[in-house]
Homo-oligomer: A and B are copies of this chain.
Amino acid sequence: MSLTVVGSLAFDAVETPFGKRDRMLGGAATHFALAASFFDEVHVVGPVGDDFGDEEMAILSTRGTNVDDVERVAGGKTFFWAGKYSANLNERETLDTQLNVFETFEPKLSQASRDADVLFLANIVPDLQYEVREQCERARFVAMDSMNLWIDIARESLEKVIARVDCLILNDEELEQLTEAPNLVTAAAQVLQMGPSVVVAKQGKYGAALFTADDHFWIPAYPLETVVDPTGAGDTFAGGFVGYVAAHRDQPLTPAVLRRAMAYGTALASFNVEEFGTDRVARLTADEIGPRVEQLVQITRFESHPLTLRG
């Protein structure tokens, strides 16, 4: 009984209006694992280079995450990404991307990783996502992320993976791009015809939305006065969301469970953005999370009330 994630382990260089880091641990699988490890034993699958040290491995192993399938490529360098955020953090510019060991990555899953009953395919080239998905025959819930690049250059491969997963987690604009739908509601309805039974639309600082055949749910981002670095927020959200689902794998996946999963993902993501990189979530403790989930209940709740209108 475990949760496997396949995706990037990286060094990030990030500049925001609140500071600058030249080299810190990042990558989708890293952020995902740090969040999901609150809910389940996580197995991380991804490549690193010689420059990935004990310190990074220790952070990745937080809360017992299994790193046996982190593949160290001798003579290789770890994936590197550099980006700069705009004044209000709404936009970011990629300054540098060095694929390094990712260029020739072929996921090799140990039996333990293949035996996972929950699987998250972080954003990597769709053909690799497909291979991994097929290796995990016992997975009862498979979720995936992707990005605009693959919609542009590998749509066919991407659609082939999407057809084989239970849940697609994507930015709202990417969902619209994927389906060529004029709005999110229509886009989500179309994705539900492509294979997944659950669609999650990430809306950045505005929150996230959930769509299934018989449920719609919208949750705002957790309101923060301090946002330092949005890098990894989406993957942290996914870690909280998929982690929550994994922790409830023995229950039916009801709207109530999925909605709470959205709330946990939202709460986790809010911690991620408060500090650079993995700093905040790596030292986060379990008792800090519940109060933010409860606060999300409080700031969204209202009662309808009979009212006689004019006209």
Contact = CB atoms under 8 A, between A and B. Distances in A.
Interface stretch (A45-53, A101-109, A148-156, A211-219): A211-219
Contacts of A216: 223, 299
A112 to B, nearest CB: 18
B88 A183 contact: yes
Contacts of A225: 183, 185-186, 189
A302 B87 contact: no
Of A39, A217, A289, A304, chain B has the most CB atoms within 10 Å of the CB of A304
A192 to B, nearest CB: 13
A38 B311 contact: yes
A302 B297 CA distance: 7
A209 interface: yes
B307 A247 contact: yes
Given A182-B89, A185-B224, A223-B185, A290 B311 contact: no
Give chain A's interface residue range (CB within 8 Å of chain B).
35 or more
Interface in A118-140: none
Interface in A10-68: 17-18, 37-40, 62-64
Interface stretch (A70-78, A163-171, A256-264): A256-264
A6 to B, nearest CB: 21
B290 A310 contact: no
Contacts of A64: 310-311
Contacts of A185: 223-225
Interface string A270-306: 0000000000000001100110011011011111111
Given A216-B299, A256-B303, 14 more contacts: A38-B310, A39-B310, A64-B311, A89-B183, A183-B205, A207-B220, A209-B220, A260-B302, A285-B311, A286-B309, A293-B304, A296-B304, A297-B303, A300-B301
